[in-house]
Structure 1
Amino acid sequence: MGGGAGVAAATTVESKEWYLAAYAPQNIPTSEHIKLRTVNVSLEYDSIPDQHVLVQLLMITVDPYLRNVITGRDGDLYLPQILLNKVLTEFGIGRVVRSKNINFNEGDIVINPFSSIAEYSVVPSDFLRKIDPTANIALPNYINCLGLPGFTAWIGIDVIGNPAPGSNVFISAAAGGVGMFAGQFAKLKGCRVVGSTGSDEKVQILKDEFGYDQAFNYRKESDFNAALAKYFPNGIDLYLDNVGGKMLEAVLNHVNKGARIAITGMMSQYNTIPAEREGVNSLLNMVGKEVKMEGFLCGSYLNRFGEFETLMETYLKEEKIKSKHKIYQGIESFLESFASVFSSSNMGKVILQVAS
């Protein structure tokens, strides 16, 4: 039996959780759409199904992808919609409180890619992975550089992009959770890297701390075509797209022959309804320049996560990769932290610390 076998008393604990109260077809979701409630969770060992564990949430990532699953429009975007009244989920880290799986014991710290945004929850153990307490890796790194942000950046740059040394690489949302790692991966491959971001302070950090050759503040550039002509006089060989819209339109006017475009997200379009989204008028350039543009989901590359993890752990030990994150405290701060993802107010990955 798991570590909870000796628990006899039938006790409960109050658990705050965020759930979907109403769909948000456009604009940034508010407290009308996402609400906090308190429920009672049983701590009784016998209440836990076989091969499940009761987990106390320690921290979760706060990701823009969540915006896509609460529009109420199935088929509109690439992920199925969350049902109303259901608890929201994110990539998280938790502590095992009770276990009905012999591979997990009370006190184990586990990574769960489908963590409920709840202080306590009973979850299937299929996707849980234990963290080695002797690895000497800070917990936020497991959901940052060793989590989906780092993995996404690695897929976009190393797997799909695979640029040759000396290639000209452009990364939008470069100071975000994915962008900060993408630029560093490209630099490690010997590329010239330019990023766009939302403030002068972030421009400086990209160059000073993350090794970008150049960066620009897209809020100050009224003409993206002119900006790209300035920073890429020899054209773009690889573009990692996090924003879509007008930036993608401009990139297609500056790609080189055989360029690659890896699309991981289109944040500029998430808060608009389909009829109001910006189209791309320069797709014909893909024909003349023989450009390959490919969207991707991390779930399709999970068979390569071990390879990525080994590489990233090596980079961390050799101090070849740096990371930044913004931590919001307390489960009550989730809605504020989620809104901040769309405001350019944060540097690096946004993380919600629920418990310690």
Structure 2
Amino acid sequence: MPTSRQFLLSSRPEGELSDDDLELREVELPELGEGEIRARTTWMSVDPTIRIWMSDIPQYMPPIAIGEVVRSIGVAEVEASTHPGFAVGDQVSTMIGWQTRIQGKPEALGCMKLPEGTDPGMFLATVGPTSGMTAYFGLFDIGEPKPGETVVVDAAAGAVGSLVGQLAKLHGCRAVGIAGGPEKCAYVTEELGFDACIDYKNEDVGAGLDRACPDGIDVCFENVGGPIFDEILLRMNNFGRVSLCGMVSGYNRAGEQLPGPYQFPMVLMRRLKVQGFIILDYADRYAEAAAKLGAWVAQGKLESRLHVREGFESLPDALRELVGGKSAKIGKMVVRF
């Protein structure tokens, strides 16, 4: 009888995720019913929002319930099927969760079949909902950049930020990143083609923005929050746009009263549009984004690095590294099973 190993949320994390907040179990899977598939997880996307889902706070979807499999997106390979539209060997992507197998009707599971020959890791990094699609809709639909404008993105060496800058350049904009450390900044400018990158660990961010954005900032793609966001707000141009994707600097402090942004009055003074968004808002347009992103990847115009951790049991450490602010990672955090 096939089995699935699972990480369940056993308690709400206080601060950083602890191993005591998780329960590891193995369950037997029943025989396949009519129109069902069983798929073995091969790759898992590790995203900051997983930490938010673990907290019982107001958010954009119900938090992970105590005793529920930790929620996350991944790729799995079909190993058994009674469904006419899915064959053994097909790759599918869906909200798999932290488990080694999924089983059920693919429609109910929300499975999207990947084109034959797709590299699953690079799919998660460049096209997947929590990376490429987030960058695409957040920049173009919310940020509304115009050729010649200046786009600033923080966490610029990460999964989403690295793509935002490349998409801005493809659109004819000046792309300025903010990242931590010389290696990340070199990656952003030399490999990805950003016009400039500010090393927030080794230089004054405000002075760096003054140097890199002499004509001010038209679009801010915000991933971090905190003092960096304040420095950006001070330099936004009139009628600029802020695409609010994440506030990762506070995710391990979920439920606390966090200050800021201290420069929120600039929203009024500069008549800014500030809009948060969630990728689920664009579910009916995933095909549009996938087609465009896939074409840019095929043409060599869009790239990403993978930061790979090995093995199912490495998932908790991967999330701690990603959200804890200690990561030296460049690119998309994934776990290969």
In structure 2, the CA distance between the partners of 1:273 and 1:181, relative to structure 1 (3 Å rule), is closer
Matched, 1:209 2:170: no
* Residues 9, 21 of structure 2: 8 Å contact kept: yes
* Residues 246, 278 of structure 1: 8 Å contact kept: no
Deviation at 1:52, TM superposition (A): 3.4
Q: Deviations over 1:180-227 (max 9, x none)?
A: 110000000111111111221000010111001111221223x43333
Matched, 1:169 2:151: yes
Deviation at 1:51, TM superposition (A): 4.2
Give 1:272's match in structure 2, choosing from 253, 266, 285: 253
In structure 2, the CA distance between the partners of 1:230 and 1:278, relative to structure 1 (3 Å rule), is farther
Give 1:92's match in structure 2, choosing from 74, 91, 96: 74
Output the aligned Cα RMSD.
1.6
Counterpart CA distance in 1 for 2:194 and 2:162 is: 9
Structure 1 runs of 4+ off > 6 angstroms? none
Aligned to 1:199: 181
Aligned to 2:52: 68
State the secondary structure of the residue aligned to 1:27: coil
Counterpart CA distance in 1 for 2:96 and 2:127 is: 16
Counterpart CA distance in 2 for 1:197 and 1:68 is: 22
Runs of 5+ unmatched residues, structure 1: 1-11
Letter in 2 for 1:37: R
Counterpart CA distance in 1 for 2:327 and 2:148 is: 30
* Residues 198, 209 of structure 2: 8 Å contact kept: no
Trace 1:102-121 onto structure 2 (pairs within 5 A): 102-112=84-94, 114-121=95-102
In structure 2, the CA distance between the partners of 1:261 and 1:347, relative to structure 1 (3 Å rule), is same
Runs of 5+ unmatched residues, structure 2: none
| Identical-residue share of aligned pairs (%) | 27
Q: Deviations over 1:93-149 (max 9, x none)?
A: 11122334322222221111x11211112244122121221xx43221221111020
Matched, 1:261 2:242: yes
Q: Deviations over 1:242-272 (max 9, x none)?
A: 0011122121110001100001110001111
Give 2:270's match in structure 1, choosing from 284, 289, 299: 289
Trace 1:1-356 onto structure 2 (pairs within 5 A): 12-24=1-13, 26-42=14-30, 44-45=31-32, 48=33, 50-73=34-57, 75=58, 77-112=59-94, 114-126=95-107, 127-133=110-116, 136-148=117-129, 149-221=131-203, 223-342=204-323, 343-354=326-337
Deviation at 1:296, TM superposition (A): 0.2
Number of residue-to-residue matches in the alignment:
332
Normalising by the residue count of structure 2, what TM-score does the alignment of the two structures yield?
A: 0.94
Letter in 2 for 1:199: G
Counterpart CA distance in 2 for 1:58 and 1:340 is: 21
* Residues 99, 105 of structure 1: 8 Å contact kept: yes
Q: Deviations over 1:154-192 (max 9, x none)?
A: 111122112111111100000111011100000001111
Q: Deviations over 1:41-94 (max 9, x none)?
A: 23x23xx3x443221111110011001111233x2x333111111111211111
